[in-house]
Structure 1
Amino acid sequence: MDETIVEPAEMPEEPRCVQIKATLAGKINLADFQNAIPVVHELSLANETAVDIKELLLTASSEPSFFKPKPWHLDHIATGKDVRISDLDLSLDGALLGRLTESEKAHITFKLTAGSESPVELASFETTVELLPRNQWGGLTALPDMVAAFVQPNEQAVERVLKKAADVLHKAGKSGAINGYQEGAKRAWELASAIWNAIGSMGIDYAVPPASFEQSGQKVRSPSQIADSGLATCLDLALFACAALEQAGLNAVLVFTDGHAFPGVWLKPEEFSTSVIDDVTALRKRVKLKEMVLFESTMLTHRPYPAFSFAIADAEKQISEEAGRKFHLAIDIRRARMQRIKPLASEQAIERGTVGTEEVNLERKFEVAPELPEELERSSEDKAVERPEDRLTRWQRKLLDLSLRNNLLSFKAGKKSLKLEAPDPGQLEDILAEGHAIKLLTRPDLMDGNDPRSQAIHEARERENIRRSHAIDALKRREVFVGLSQDEMDTRLVELFRTSRTNLQEGGSNTLYLALGFLSWTREAKDDKKYRAPLILVPVSLERRSARSALQSDAD
């Protein structure tokens, strides 16, 4: 049998052209705009033609127009080259985003033209984004800690709640001052209890939330809307309570379980090391130590509403090991604020009519705080003060080895060292010199990594070096960030802890120091190889309170 070989017909080559490549957000709302989450995540141009192209103009526009048309001027793009656009900040129309009451599709068009006198269109790219109402929360599947933007402590309804809470305290024979943590944990509990009574007396009724709201999101009622309508979902009530707690100077927490949300509050001026807490054991530990209380806010809609302690007991059951609901995560509102997530701007002041919620009087007797463990502060008098002469003697003994093997003369960074992010080393040294401990934490994803917010856009708008400001704020709380993953930092700290302890036990001397500043030096005047020697050494020690806790650093 004869066989015939037939060659396949050659496929025609696709014409070479200039391409616009863009990645945009699927949804955008006012909270995203205020917190520097960009509409355009990536934007680039690819010249696949055989010639260079010059005098280019790339423009972006939208319909409806929710941002000002944005032009980018490019000198030229060589053949076969890609150009990445770095300036991605679009001037969004915040007023338009604030006026939206329903979701709306917007079409975005990118056009690339060449030539100045008679421009020729080379390429175009079209896509759509969904504009959400100002009160639409996108859910936990997007950026979980963005829910902190919907905690609005500056709403007028929150001010009325705090005034009512002050009245509750006065009637109980206590000070009506809304003074946060100034008088300790017991006072913080009493403030939270008074806020509970103040919200409970408003006569709010429960509204069923949408199915799977914690994942897909929902429209959120502001505190003023809750006060006017008298209706609230579990998330609305939790956000309302968090707003009142934050305005009272307390650090609030928002907990999400399967199909449910409820608030909590720290009883001491602390916060978690990250804004998103996905380990329920971290909450259980703080609750058992009575450093934090969680409470079931939907009980505020009961008639009569129960005592604050009863709501606390119910919330504790929901995070227990026997809980029927699945724990998703918790959001630390205070930590989110430190990471520059701002509250959603309040709506323009409107004359609101009074509804039954303002006239209902459902007050219950104020509940006195239970006994709470007192915080034990280490007395500075108990610490022996080391004389400068003794420090100098110890440093001289460690400088006996004058070869380059000595880390004090030729320091090489490696796995036996940690680089601390301390923009103000003088303040760090002062804290340690006063005998205070500092906590070492991993650097959070602050507008990088998994955080979709744009650091460049934020810094251009706010005129703030976000990393420096965040590190300085942390230093004021005696916290220092380390630019490593949690596992890598833990491994290094444990190795340093064990090595320094062994050296102290066997040799009788501390070998762990904090180096402040380095001197770069060479052995010869014309030698290219440079060595680094620490300038100021502060002897420190590492403390580990338990196998699961973070390591802290103390000055010796």
Structure 2
Amino acid sequence: MPDNIQAVVSPQEISTSATTAPSLQIDMELDPTVNFAMQQNDVPIVQSLKITNLTQTEIRDVQVEIRTEPEFAMLWKTQIASLPSAGTYHLGVVDLELSPQHLLELTERVAGIVHVEVKSEQTVLAQTTSRIEILAHDEWSGLRSLPEILAAFVLPNHPDVERILSRAAQILKEWTGNSSLSGYQSKDRKRVLEIVAAIYTAIQSQELTYVNPPSSFEQCGQKIRLPHRIFENKMGTCLDLAVLCAACVEQAGLFPLLVLTNGHAFTGAWLEEECFQDSASDDGLRLKKRIDLEEICVFETTLLTGSASLNFECAMQEGNRQLDDLDAFRCVLDIQRCRKSRIRPLPIRVSGTSIEIVSTPPSTESVIPQEAIAPDFSGFGKAQQADLLNNTSGQITETPATRLDKWKRNLLDLTMRNRLLNFRESHKTLPILCPDLYSLEDSLADGEAFKILERPAEMSAGQPRSQELHFQRTGQDALTELIKAEFSAKRLRADVTENELNRRLLEIHREARNSLEEGGANTLFLALGFLSWYETSDSQQARIAPIILIPIELKRRSMLEGFRICLGDEESRINTTLLELLVQEFELRVPLSDPLPTDEHGIDVQGILNTFKHAVKNIDRWEVLEKAQIGLFSFTKYLMWRDLEVRAGDLARNKVVSHLINRSNKAFVNEGELPQVEHLDHTYKPENTFCPLSSDSSQLVAIHAAAEGKSFVLQGPPGTGKSQTITNLIAHCLATGKTVLFVSEKMAALNVV
């Protein structure tokens, strides 16, 4: 990651024309490395630049210049009209124009400098010089900088990749009778696995030799042999081979992965048309679960250099074994996700330069392709769902029951994307320091409001007082006593700084208000108590899920006064999504249901948390954490799932729902013709039409059709009177003795009507 370089100018660093003390301070965040791949993918090397006026007087007409040595970037200049006294000017990310030709011509790493100079009226006020490593055009900087830039070295359009794929197509023809490298078109994971295996076998036939990589390459980086160099020299490191395999997999229309562990790299591939939500992830468990579900395969690429008996099945086994030690796991790069982030492959040929990253395919006459033995994938598919069932038509026959189950699965989000199951602190959450959760809920239930303040100064680093010494002498935790005293004064302390507190509270307040205005549902809660749980017994990553959710409101009387929290209008609730996860995934039933147990103030927080503690007391590593967080949580989909779970029979009595459950693949049964426009006046008397707003004949057709119980879809472009028609429809149906349920995804539509 970028080094945070802070340059505080000393008198010796100021130009000789400056005879006074330093007047400016330069703060710069500079990436430690730069290379051709970063230039091609618009990665800035100066990620932040700030100029601070250290004097008590305003400085006008300030010029800022950045130059580099050697000249791998163009001279950058900007003008600042005025720097107020003791003020800081944020220049943000600096668009330093890098020279593609200079970076492309580099064949070895060189040391460079970035020089920043600040002047006013030709007088140098401050300057700083920072080191930067300029890498060779084929050198990756490692995980210390931008990990995703490794995807730029995956070259699917390289001529040698095309040659390998041609051989892979021949192998596929021998194995299956079908030479098509059709990507995911078959919708068959086994076919995708055969394509990857054929690519592996085609590269293995080139009789390559393995070369040990430099130590700690995954952190410090290394030169990467591009495909033409691998095949010319017949050798490659684990990273070279992994990148080559990824390029071949990508050119075959599949989505490759690069897996980095301590001192090692290998390749993976998605077996279905999917990608991770992040370009780079350090969560090895996320990768392993996808492998267990047979959605991803990983394979050891160094076995390409071994005996032909070490086939693709052996490579997969070794790749899986490499992930057994999650402590050694560093990162997985999803190449398709990197492409979506516009990380492009290095150009094979750069116009206007004397360097071309091209090669003439080496002669393969000396390599006699041996008959490739097809891998045995007969055991593959046991973990797959109905989409891989072996049926002759290739289609899955849906039944009403499976269709209803599919709806419920789509509504009940039991993935780690759901913050009700996998809570992670962000700029839209706020940790509250509260040693007594029970008293906090009791006070809120009694109508008390609490002001939110920043972390106590006593918790800041560098405090001269020793909390440990105080405890040894008095037996009291000074911080706990302080927080309790603040609580008694109706003040809650958040575990963030003052600036961060204001920023987070404002963000949370805006998001909660938008959710209420647009969706009509409160999403702002105070979470009390968290369950720390693990997805499997072997998992090393703890997941945190809130247990109790108290609806709250954030209020403030003015911009100058801080936020206060008070109890909201809704009922407090248990995290029902967590309860359902425990039942479905672990067959663990926590004996809690609506209504929640209460005490003399509100809900019985202590009793609820104790119930969870008893439920998990015999499960290793699981525990209940008595912590509090303010955050945004949504239960909308869970409530819909609950309706399908317990009221499916009632819902199915509706003819539209019944059709969707039982006959969704057929046309809806015609309920008779809609009223004819030309006969409206004869069929429906004006005195029997109750429309408070004006309506034309087409709108009256919809109004009377609805009153007669006909089902239809009413659509039209903006401004054609849909809301007006709905208003008349509701009024007419109410006047004729009917009950109307008006549902809208957004609150604004309800308010219009």
State how many pairs are aligned: 409
CA gap of 1:46–1:150, structure 2 versus 1, over 3 A, is same
Residue 220 of structure 2: aligned partner: 216
Amino acid in the other structure paired with 1:367? A
Residue identity in the other structure for 2:298: L
Q: Distance in 1 between matches of 2:165 and 2:263?
A: 29
Task: Give the counterpart letter for 1:132 in structure 2.
Answer: L
Contact 1:230 1:356 in 2 (8 A): no
One of 373, 376, 391 as aligned partner of 2:386: 376
Offset, 1:70: 0.9
Q: 1:272 to 1:489 in 2, by over 3 A?
A: farther
Q: Secondary structure at 2:52's aligned position in 1?
A: strand
1:304-350 deviation per Cα after TM superposition (whole angstroms, max 9, x unaligned): 35221222122222223xx5983333222222222332223335546
Using the size of structure 1 for normalisation, the TM-score is 0.65
2:120 maps to 114
Deviations 1:221-270 (A, max 9, x none): 11121111111011111110011001101111222223221111121112
From 206, 212, 218, give the equivalent of 2:210.
206
The structure 2 residue matched to 1:226, chosen from 219, 226, 230, is: 230
- Other-structure match for 2:132: 129
Q: Distance in 2 between matches of 1:351 and 1:274?
A: 31
The Cα shift of 1:190 comes to 1.6
Inter-partner Cα distance in structure 1 for 2:212 and 2:286? 29
2:518 and 2:277 map into 1 onto residues whose CA distance is 35
CA distance in 2 between counterparts of 1:491 and 1:533 reads 18
Q: For the aligned residues, what is the CA RMSD?
A: 3.6
DSSP 3-state at the match of 2:27: strand
Deviation at 1:161, TM superposition (A): 0.8
Q: TM-score, normalised by structure 2?
A: 0.49
Offset at 1:133? 0.9
CA 1:284/1:57 → structure 2, altered by over 3 Å: closer, same or farther? Answer: closer
| Range 349-358 or range 159-168, more displaced | 349-358
CA distance in 1, matches of 2:45, 2:150: 18
Matching residue of 1:319? 323
Q: CA deviation at 1:60?
A: 1.3
1:65 aligns with 2:75: no
Q: Structure 2: how far apart are the matches of 1:325 and 1:533?
A: 46
Change (3 A) 1:113 1:223: same
Asked if structure 1 preserves the Cα contact closer than 8 Å seen for 2:200 and 2:312, the reply is yes
Residue 189 of structure 1: aligned partner: 193
* Contact 1:190-1:369 within 8 A present in 2 as well: no
Q: Report the counterpart of residue 328 of structure 1 in structure 2.
A: 330
Q: Following TM superposition, by how much is the alpha carbon of 1:291 offset from its aligned partner in structure 2, in angstroms?
A: 2.2
Contact 1:66 / 1:92 at 8 angstroms: preserved in 2?
A: yes
Equivalent residue, structure 1, for 2:313: 309
Give the Cα separation in 2 of the matches to 1:79 and 1:61.
27
Contact between 1:102 and 1:133, CA under 8 Å: does it hold in 2? yes
Q: Paired residue for 1:273, among 273, 277, 280?
A: 277
User: What does the per-residue CA deviation read over 1:468-510, in whole Å, with 9 as the maximum and x for residues that have no partner?
Assistant: xxxxxxxxxxxxxxxxxxx9999835x5555555567788899
State how 1:156-171 maps to structure 2 within 5 Å.
156-171=159-174
Alpha carbons 1:203, 1:362 under 8 Å: kept: no
The equivalences for 1:430-445 within 5 A come to: none
Q: Where do 1:9-408 residues align within 5 Å?
A: 15-86=21-92, 88-115=94-121, 119-172=122-175, 174-183=177-186, 184-304=188-308, 306-320=310-324, 326-346=328-348, 348-349=355-356, 352=359, 359-368=366-375, 370-371=377-378, 372-373=380-381, 376=386, 382=400
SS of the residue aligned with 1:273?
coil
How far apart in 1 are the matches of 2:642 and 2:151? 45
Tell me, yes or no, if the aligned pair for 2:300 and 2:318 is still in contact at 8 Å: yes
Give, as a single letter, the amino acid of the residue that structure 1 aligns with 2:299.
F
User: Could you say what secondary structure the match of 1:149 adopts?
Assistant: helix
1:209 match: secondary structure? coil
User: Displacement, 1:66?
Assistant: 0.8
SS at match of 1:264: strand
Contact map agreement 2:523 2:632 (CA 8 A) in 1: no
Which range is displaced more, 149-158 or 227-236?
Answer: 149-158
Q: Does the CA-based 8 Å contact 2:516-2:523 persist in structure 1?
A: no
Q: Kindly indicate whether the alpha-carbon contact (under 8 Å) linking 1:204 and 1:357 is maintained by their aligned counterparts in 2.
A: no
Indicate how the Cα distance of structure 1 residues 105 and 324 shifts in structure 2: closer, same or farther if over 3 A, else same: closer
**How many Å separate the matches in 1 of 2:32 and 2:275?**
32
Structure 2 CA distance for partners of 1:185 and 1:46, relative to 1, 3 Å:
same
Alignment CA distance shift 1:411-1:38 (3 Å): same
- The answer to whether the 8 A contact 2:49-2:93 is kept is no
CA contact (8 A) 1:200 1:305 kept: no
Whether the aligned pair in 2 keeps the contact of 1:106 and 1:131 (CA below 8 Å) is yes
CA contact (8 A) 1:203 1:357 kept: no
Q: Deviations over 1:57-107 (max 9, x none)?
A: 221111211111111022222233221113610110011111111111222
1:332 maps to a residue whose letter is D
Cα deviation 1:518-543 (Å, max 9, x = unaligned):
xxxxxxxxxxxxxx962459xxxxxx
Given that 1:139 and 1:213 are in contact with CA atoms closer than 8 Å, whether structure 2 keeps it comes out as yes
Partner AA of 1:288 in structure 2: D
Unaligned runs of 5+ in 1: 1-12, 385-405, 418-486, 511-516, 518-531, 538-556
Shift of the 507–293 alpha-carbon distance from structure 1 to 2, 3 Å rule, reads closer
CA–CA distance in structure 2, aligned partners of residues 100 and 213 of structure 1: 20
Secondary structure, counterpart of 2:92 in structure 1: coil
Amino acid at match of 1:26: P
TM-aligned CA deviation for residue 124 of structure 1: 2.3
Distance 1:351 1:60, change over 3 A: closer
| 1:408, distance to aligned residue in structure 2 (A) | 8.1
- Counterpart of 1:414? 523
Q: Could you tell me how far apart the structure 1 residues matched to 2:338 and 2:49 are?
A: 29
Contact 1:318 1:325 in 2 (8 A): no
Mapped to 2, the partners of 1:489 and 1:202 lie a distance apart of 59
User: How much has 1:173 moved relative to structure 2?
Assistant: 5.5
Q: In structure 1, what residue type is equivalent to 2:254?
A: L
Q: Are 1:492 and 2:633 counterparts?
A: yes
SS at match of 1:336: helix
Which consecutive residues of structure 2, in runs of 5 or more, have no partner in the other structure?
Answer: 1-18, 350-354, 388-395, 405-514, 527-627, 652-717, 719-744
C-alpha distance in 2, partners of 1:33/1:173? Answer: 44
**What is the rounded CA distance, in whole Å, between the counterparts of 2:54 and 2:28 in structure 1?**
16
Give the Å deviation of 1:369.
5.7
Give the structure with the higher percent helix. 2
Distance 1:88 1:260 in 2: 35
Mapping 1:475-486, distance limit 5 Å: none
Q: Given that residues 37 and 137 in structure 2 are in contact (C-alpha distance below 8 angstroms), is that contact kept between their aligned partners in structure 1? A: yes
SS in 1 for 2:231: helix
Higher RCO (CA 8 Å, separation ≥ 6 residues): 1
Cα distance in 2 for partners of 1:219, 1:336 equals: 20
